[in-house]
Amino acid sequence: MENFRFNAYTEILFGTGQIEHLSRSLEPYGKNVLLTYGGGSIKKNGIYDKVMELLKDFNVIELDKIEPNPRIESVRKGVKLCKENKIDVILAVGGGSTIDCSKVIAAGNYYEGDPWDIVVNPSLIGEVLPIVTVLTLAATGSEMNKNAVISNMETNEKLGTASTKMIPQTSILNPEYMFTLPAIQTAAGTADIMSHILENYFQKTKGAYVQDKISEGLLQTCIKYCPIAINEPTNYEARANLMWASSLALNGLCGCGKSGSWTCHPIEHELSAYYDITHGVGLAIVTPRWMRYILSDDTVDKFVEYALNVWHLPLSEDKFALANLAIDKTEEFFKSCGIPSTLTELGIDRSKFDLMAEKAVKFGGLQNAYVSLTPEDVKNILIDCL
């Protein structure tokens, strides 16, 4: 286990009715609230009306239409609104896209230049406005961590930035808010959660046993409850376990004490940057291909652990057979949840693979991943995804 700093300071208010604490959560910061949200699903399911009712004593400025892959243009708009209206606190109501966008707005409020600078270079982040979130989708874990991913479609860049100051102060997690979620979003969100865990599970660091056991537990949670949530959208237990798993998958618990670059996320970020596909869908397509590509004498023992402890496959003498079976299970699982299983289905061809592979290695630092990858390797993995 390596040295680490862990600081997931977000206050989580979990469960039905917790929204009633909203105004109390905002009050310490001031009366001027920037309310951020996405395409308007919160207007259909009643969350918007409930929030506005609870905020009747606040001055609420709205930023809506934040994109599923949130764009720097939305950040710029948000920063402008913050500065013009002397915003005290940002209330993000939505999934990871809305929260990520809000984080960079919150940091951008105190940055004099163009906010794209602080996406490219997180060390430029200084003060950050406090952020409160109301989560409506279990996926990114953004509700309890320091990360934000922003896209710049002009330059075809989708980059991550981070600052402990961007960790939300309070996040309200009501599993009922996911009852109306389309099956594909439940599935893609779960694929995202699982990818966050797997990116940390498969790392070179040895002896981080606590982290691996928590990771295995959270993966089992996803595998158990995603199909239930798809078949019974209003199953509270399924939604609750997926929602809490999403926060814990990326608040540092699975990754602390380990090091190394992630692999599937940087590759997927290129897919989203060029084709604007759903992040979780991209991850579900790339992950099993990556697993198969890196399976070797060096990695097989970790895949055996994965097979036994996550998929509960019966112990076998043939380690590679067991590893491959676990990878099959992973692939079949995503498919069974209704996620497209090839890039071809999404209309993506190989025309930009060279460029994407180059950029994934460069921006993702893939030479420092669990298994070091060259642009050639990434291209091969992408071809396997067709």
Q: What is the DSSP string of 192-227?
A: HHHHHHHHHHS-S----HHHHHHHHHHHHHHHHHHH
DSSP-derived 3-state class of residue 169:
coil
DSSP-derived 3-state class of residue 341:
coil
User: Is 4 or 275 the residue whose CB approaches a copy of itself more closely?
Assistant: 4
User: Is 1 or 383 the residue whose CB approaches a copy of itself more closely?
Assistant: 1
User: Is 177 or 363 the residue whose CB approaches a copy of itself more closely?
Assistant: 177
> How far apart are alpha carbons 212 and 307 in whole angstroms?
13
- Binding status of residue 225 toward a copy of itself by CB under 8 A: yes
Residue 218, burial from CB neighbour count under 10 angstroms (0-12, 13-18, 19+): buried
Query: How many CB atoms lie under 10 A from the CB of residue 67?
Result: 16
Number of residues in contact with a copy of itself under rule CB under 8 A: 42
- Minimal distance, residue 254 CB to a copy of itself, in Å: 11
Pairing verdict, β 157-162 and 147-152: antiparallel
Q: Which of 52, 210, 321, 383 is in the footprint of a copy of itself by CB under 8 A?
A: 210
DSSP-derived 3-state class of residue 126:
coil
- Minimal distance, residue 16 CB to a copy of itself, in Å: 7
User: Is 150 or 172 the residue whose CB approaches a copy of itself more closely?
Assistant: 172
- Binding status of residue 11 toward a copy of itself by CB under 8 A: yes
DSSP-derived 3-state class of residue 93:
strand
- Binding status of residue 172 toward a copy of itself by CB under 8 A: no
Among candidate residues 328, 287, 320, the one with its CA nearest the CA of residue 304: 320
- Binding status of residue 4 toward a copy of itself by CB under 8 A: yes
Q: Which of 43, 65, 213, 362 is in the footprint of a copy of itself by CB under 8 A?
A: 213
For 230-382, where are the E strands, in sequence order?
none
- Binding status of residue 138 toward a copy of itself by CB under 8 A: no
User: Is 241 or 287 the residue whose CB approaches a copy of itself more closely?
Assistant: 241
- Binding status of residue 218 toward a copy of itself by CB under 8 A: yes
Q: Which of 143, 216, 268, 270 is in the footprint of a copy of itself by CB under 8 A?
A: 216
Range in contact with a copy of itself (rule: CB under 8 A) among 146-154, 202-210, 276-284, 315-323: 202-210
Q: Which of 150, 256, 284, 291 is in the footprint of a copy of itself by CB under 8 A?
A: 256
CB burial of 197-211 (b: ≥16 within 10 Å; e: otherwise) equals bbbbbbbebeebeeb
Cβ atoms 173, 135 nearer than 8 A: yes
The DSSP bridge partners found for residue 35 are: 62, 91
Q: Which of 49, 154, 237, 301 is in the footprint of a copy of itself by CB under 8 A?
A: 237
- Minimal distance, residue 18 CB to a copy of itself, in Å: 7
Range in contact with a copy of itself (rule: CB under 8 A) among 206-214, 289-297, 338-346, 359-367: 206-214
User: Is 59 or 220 the residue whose CB approaches a copy of itself more closely?
Assistant: 220
H or E segment to which residue 158 belongs: strand 157-162
What part of residues 257-276 is at the interface with a copy of itself (CB under 8 A)?
A: 257
H or E segment to which residue 161 belongs: strand 157-162
Cβ atoms 71, 159 nearer than 8 A: no
Q: Which of 65, 126, 207, 342 is in the footprint of a copy of itself by CB under 8 A?
A: 207
> How far apart are alpha carbons 285 and 346 in whole angstroms?
11
- Binding status of residue 226 toward a copy of itself by CB under 8 A: no
- Binding status of residue 315 toward a copy of itself by CB under 8 A: no
- Binding status of residue 314 toward a copy of itself by CB under 8 A: no
- Binding status of residue 181 toward a copy of itself by CB under 8 A: no
Amino acid at site 54: L
Residue 325, burial from CB neighbour count under 10 angstroms (0-12, 13-18, 19+): middle
H or E segment to which residue 104 belongs: helix 96-108
User: Is 257 or 364 the residue whose CB approaches a copy of itself more closely?
Assistant: 257
DSSP-derived 3-state class of residue 234:
coil
- Binding status of residue 48 toward a copy of itself by CB under 8 A: no
Residues that bind a copy of itself (CB under 8 A): 1-18, 206-210, 213-214, 216-218, 220-221, 224-225, 236-237, 240-241, 244-245, 248, 253, 256-257
